[in-house]
Structure 1
Amino acid sequence: MSNPRSRSASLREEEELRLPRPPGVIRRFWARHPVFADVLIALICLLLSITPATISTTYRTNPDGDLTIVEGPPLVANVVIGVLVLAACLLLLRRRQWPVVGFVAAYITAFAYLFLIDPSGGPLLLVTSYSIAVYRSTRAAWIGMAIGIGSLTLVSLLLQFTGAITLQSALNGIFGQLTLALIGTLIGVNVGGRKRYLEAVIDRSRQLLVERDQQAQLAASAERARIAREMHDIVSHSLTVIVALSEGAAATGDQDRARDAATAAAATARGALTEMRSMLGVLRDGAGDIPLAPMESVAPHATVATAQNAGYPVTLTTVGEPKVPAAVDFAIGRIVQEGITNAMRHARGATRIAVHIDYSTDPVVIEIDNDGVTGAAGTGGFGLRGLNERAAHLNGSFRSGPVGDRRWMLRAELPAASEPNISDRPEDAK
Structure 2
Amino acid sequence: MEDVRAQESGRPWRLGPRATRVFDLVLATSLVLPSLAMVVVVGTSLAPLVFSLLQTVPLYWRRGHPVAVFAFVAGASVLQAATYDMPVWGQVGFPAALYALARFSSGRAARVGLLVGLCGAAVASWVWTSSQVQAYPPGLEYVDYDIGLDDLSPYFFSIAAIVLAAWALGSQARIRRAYEAGLVERGRQLALEAEQRAVLAAAEERTRIAREMHDVVAHGLSVVIVQADGARYAAQKDPQVAVRTLDTVATVGRDALTEMRRLLGLLRGSDDPALAPQPRLADLPSLVTADDRVELDLPDPLPEVPDGVALTVFRLVQESLTNVRKHAGPNAQARVRLESRPDVLEVEVVDDGHGASAAGGSGLGLLGMRERVEVHGGALEVGPAAGGGWRVRARIPR
After TM superposition, the score normalised by the length of structure 2 is 0.49
* Greater relative contact order (CA < 8 Å, ≥ 6 in sequence): 1
